[in-house]
Structure 1
Amino acid sequence: MLEVDREQVLAHRIAAHGLHRDETDPNTLAVFDLGLQNTQRDTAALSLAARVADEVTEESMVDDPRFVLAWTHRGAPHFHRRDELPAVTSALVPLDETDAMNRMLFQRRMVEAAGVGALDGLFATARAIREVVHEPMTKGAVSTAITKIIPSGLSAWCRGCQATHVSEQVMRLAAVHGGTRLEAGASPATLAPLEGSPPMRTEPDPAAATAVVVAYLRLHGPATPTEAAGFVGTTATVAKRMWPDGLTEVRVDGRKAFLPTGDVPALENPPEPGVVRLLPPWDPFLQARDRGLLVPDKARQKEIWKIIGNPGALLVHGEVAGTWRTKAAGRKRLDFTFHPFWTLRPAVKREVEAEAERVAAVRGFPELRVAWTG
């Protein structure tokens, strides 16, 4: 049995995620096998800038016809390769009622109380979206329209909106099954018909679901069913039904985990992780569910993964070495604040500041100012 330590695993993941910046074409990046999350306007572009050598702008993903933005994994917005979205959509059909209810995440109790099964509610909402969205419509307009035609239990009073409308998570999970995408770069969030969308599928596709787990293991492995389930948004029991063949058991600091057998040589001999990168909030590297492996100190985990308002992460020579935030000072200057977890050498700080220049350029700021808290 192969035994490795966390440093070797992190070196392997840095290479798997393309963070050595060896590629020039975004389409070749393995992170798109799962999708590139775009929770804020520029997070996907900054994740791209950390991985490709060519110039990246805020519009790089918006203007590239090879990619499409949609609410997919866990209802979060992800860029996917356009020609792979049908397979992703099939993978997102819950395996059964229990799986569907698990995917409701923070709104599970509301759906349970609705008196409508999670599967029935999901696809009733998807059919309503197909009926309503024939041209680009803001999220609010879609919500208002479908609330009138879906089962009443799937709606609730929203204090923020001061209105009764469909459950947020139900709508997000249903949108791609309803044949819609998100308009990349639009604010507020805007749904639009997905060109060439196939008829809605309601039967699960176990092979497609398993392909998502394989992609997770290739990017975030060695990993366990519980960790893969966390990415999918379900339970370990369900994830085991998606579990692929062709895996090798690996011991990571004594803990049992699994990796596709074909990736074992890459884990055994990963390249040195001698890179410095500024990872934005929700970067794919930070989406691994074994946060204790990425950042062993629990207090520091709380600094990186917050309930609201995650910072970016400093990746320094194989370790998450601190956090960073930015604030615009007018239209020309972007101010950076770096909070390292330990003292960084002057040469490393210079590398960090060079990456800050790249981030500022992505966001369209010709000037920047840097402050260090330690």
Structure 2
Amino acid sequence: MPSASAAPGAPMRTARMTWRQAIDRRAERHGLGARPAGAAPADAVAAMCGAHAQIQSAGEVSVALRLDGATRQDVRTALLTEHTLVKTYGPRGTVHLLPARDLPMWTGALSALPAGSGNGGGPRAYLTEEQTEQVLEAVADALADAELTTDELTEAIVERTGPWAGDPVMEAFQGAWPRWRAATHLAAYRGVLCFGAPRGRKVTHTSPGRLLPGFRPLPAEQALTRLLTGYLRAYGPATPQSFARWLAAPVTWASGLFERNAGAVQPVDVEGTTAWVAAGDTAAAEAPARGLRLLPYFDAYGVGGHPRERIFPGRASERALARGQAGNYPLLLIDGTVAGVWHQRLSGRRVRIAVEPLEPLPAARLADLDEQVERLGAILGARPELTIGPIPVGPHA
């Protein structure tokens, strides 16, 4: 791990910061402060270092709420028409929206993670190394000029490799998946697979190179350095442990990456804890994080927010986390920290929004809440109805 007092070649004076200042910085960087995260959906996604999109509607809200006047349709247009966003597998092997301009970095970095990182053990439980490479070659060939449903892609892979690739051996939600799907995350990390436009209710896959002419993953070490410094700009001050958790990678590997990039990162003393920021990035937020926000399921600010006890203080750690995991509840955020949960039910042109604050909200906060509910309705294109009180809905699986 890098020294807490020096960078290669010269002594470095350790900057100091309070946790309150760290939270103010993060909220501002994520576009949750006084100003938006940019002018376009790709700017907002870059600012939070990727937007979780396992739940597509939640991902759209997550991006739109960080931009002035944006709606979920603006996010869809960026993804499906402009191709300034790409939907693919990102940190922890989960579905993310990523800026198209940064996809060379993401694929170069994620493909360099240690085997088994981010995707529950990788393909080794179902595929030999030789079979894995055959599947990846088949995926690249099948998707180079096509947009295929999962079933169509399965047929194309089996045709190119053999019937073994289609063996239904992977336990799934309803039955079993074919063997080749154990390499799905790795195919995305290698840059030969991403999501295409939905075909009705069916998911499709295509090649990033088909959407982004000239696309090519960056070399591994260059990509990892860019990912590390990008993460620290969004979530710093942070530790190798929190970076490892964000990627679902080994802590020893993350610590080694910090060491190899000692010139690109800088230690900061945060109330006695040594954490890191990108080198030279020690400026305070332009203004303290003030105000109220409604963050959807798996919003990046909560999922990537560490230490948990600072972002989820007091009762929030019990109410808004699921066995220590963030993202399973939509979050009521006040001044950059979690202060409750909420839930929505969309029905036609109406959305019912229930909010459960952990403490009674004073009049000024209630006014902020009304404004946020109206904003959420505008993002969804629905008329909002607000109720305040206990929410019986459990965490999202």
Alignment TM class, shorter chain as reference:
0.7 to 0.9
Q: Deviations over 1:201-258 (max 9, x none)?
A: 6x96111012111111111111111111122231122223332323222222322211
The Cα of 1:85 is off from its aligned counterpart by: 1.4
TM-score (norm 2): 0.79
| Equivalent in 110, 130, 135 of residue 125 of structure 1 | 135
Separation in 2, partners of 1:284, 1:32? 10
The residue that corresponds to 1:52 in the other structure is: 67
The residue that corresponds to 2:271 in the other structure is: 253
The residue that corresponds to 1:224 in the other structure is: 239
The Cα of 1:82 is off from its aligned counterpart by: 1.8
The range that moved more, 287-296 or 7-16, is 287-296
Question: Are 2:335 and 1:317 equivalent residues in the alignment?
Answer: yes
| AA in 1 matched with 2:54 | T
Separation in 2, partners of 1:316, 1:199? 40
The residue that corresponds to 2:368 in the other structure is: 351
Separation in 1, partners of 2:190, 2:310? 35
- Does the residue aligned with 1:8 lie in a helix, a strand or coil? helix
TM-score (norm 1): 0.84
| AA in 2 matched with 1:62 | R
The Cα of 1:284 is off from its aligned counterpart by: 1.9
Q: Deviations over 1:149-196 (max 9, x none)?
A: 376699624353323413656313313535232135664322123324
Separation in 2, partners of 1:248, 1:159? 44
Contact 1:69 1:77 in 2 (8 A): yes
Question: Are 2:222 and 1:207 equivalent residues in the alignment?
Answer: yes
Contact 1:68 1:181 in 2 (8 A): yes
The residue that corresponds to 1:285 in the other structure is: 301
Question: Are 2:148 and 1:137 equivalent residues in the alignment?
Answer: yes
Compared CA separation, residues 45 and 157, structure 1 to 2 (3 A)? closer
Separation in 2, partners of 1:217, 1:309? 20
Contact 2:332 2:338 in 1 (8 A): yes
The range that moved more, 227-236 or 137-146, is 137-146
Contact 1:128 1:178 in 2 (8 A): no
The range that moved more, 297-306 or 213-222, is 297-306
Q: What stretches of structure 2 of length at least 5 have no aligned partner?
A: 1-13, 392-397
| AA in 2 matched with 1:284 | A
Contact 1:147 1:166 in 2 (8 A): no
Question: Are 2:50 and 1:35 equivalent residues in the alignment?
Answer: yes
Contact 1:225 1:236 in 2 (8 A): yes
Contact 1:70 1:78 in 2 (8 A): yes
State, as a whole percentage, how many aligned pairs show the same letter.
Answer: 22
| Equivalent in 125, 128, 148 of residue 116 of structure 1 | 128
Q: How many residues align?
A: 361
| Equivalent in 227, 230, 239 of residue 254 of structure 2 | 239
Residue correspondence of structure 1 range 36-115 to structure 2 within 5 A: 36-53=51-68, 55-64=69-78, 65=82, 66-94=84-112, 99-104=114-119, 106-107=120-121, 111-114=123-126
Compared CA separation, residues 85 and 157, structure 1 to 2 (3 A)? closer
